[in-house]
Chains A and B, each alone.
Chain A
Amino acid sequence: GQQLNQSPQSMFIQEGEDVSMNCTSSSIFNTWLWYKQDPGEGPVLLIALYKAGELTSNGRLTAQFGITRKDSFLNISASIPSDVGIYFCAAANNAGNMLTFGGGTRLMVKP
């Protein structure tokens, strides 16, 4: 079945540092999304991307939809303690339909 390979699996960084994580696939997708999940809660949508090459920002977060439509990355600038959590990439062949998720990147921020 389709799989998304997300890396790194975990990151332990100093407050104020920038963070980068990415997601790759052997299949083409038409939509890429990034979610953040805190313990005991559901994933919260951070950024949605619908066009190859698209670069979108949401505050300190920036994400890009790869030109090949097989990858995406998420950058977080000037990290703060509340950025702690698990970040998931997700992708779909048709917007809004079945989402395929990556394995997640666990982010830990040291104050």
Chain B
Amino acid sequence: DAGVTQSPTHLIKTRGQQVTLRCSPKSGHDTVSWYQQALGQGPQFIFQYYEEEERQRGNFPDRFSGHQFPNYSSELNVNALLLGDSALYLCASRKWTGNEQYFGPGTRLTVT
């Protein structure tokens, strides 16, 4: 039973560039959420996708956007990268009708 997978593992980008991160949910899950975790802090909710629509959004600017595909996988896009966007980006999945969210290993993004 495959868990949540994310790619790439690590990424280095330059300020002003754009980045796309990818997530495949745990088998049987249809809902994907994205979180940003700065060093030494707890994860912060970015947004959640279900049925290919954004269902809930946290306090993040429009530079952060996402997409969900028919196979339930998801992408997180960040435009015009800032140094402060450097963080671990976590994807979590669950069943829409379920209660428990399971996290992937994350993508470490470094903006220089």
Question: At the interface, yes or no: B22 with Cβ under 8 Å from chain A?
Answer: no
Bound together, the chains give a CA A88 to CA B98 distance in angstroms of 21
Measured CA separation A33–B92 after assembly (Å):
14
Which residues of B have CB within 8 Å of A50?
99
User: In the complex, what residues of B have CB within 8 A of residue A111's CB?
Assistant: none
| A71–chain B nearest beta-carbon distance, Å | 16
For chain B, give the interface size range: 20 to 34
Question: In the bound complex, what is the Cα–Cα distance between A31 and B98 (angstroms)?
Answer: 12
Q: How many Å lie between the Cα of A104 and that of B88 in the bound state?
A: 15
Q: Are A101 and B43 in contact (CB under 8 A)?
A: yes
- A96 contacts B98, CB within 8 Å? yes
Task: Give the bracket for the number of chain A residues in contact with chain B.
Answer: 20 to 34
What are the interface flags for B11-36 relative to A under an 8 Å C-beta threshold, 1 for contact and 0 otherwise? 00000000000000000000101010
* Most B-side CB within 10 Å, residue of A88, A90, A101: A101
**Among residues 91 to 109 in chain A, which have CB atoms less than 8 Å away from a CB atom of chain B?**
95-104
A42 in contact with B100 (CB, 8 Å): no
Q: Interface residues, chain A, CB within 8 Å of chain B?
A: 1, 4, 6, 31, 33, 35, 40-45, 48, 50, 88, 90, 95-104
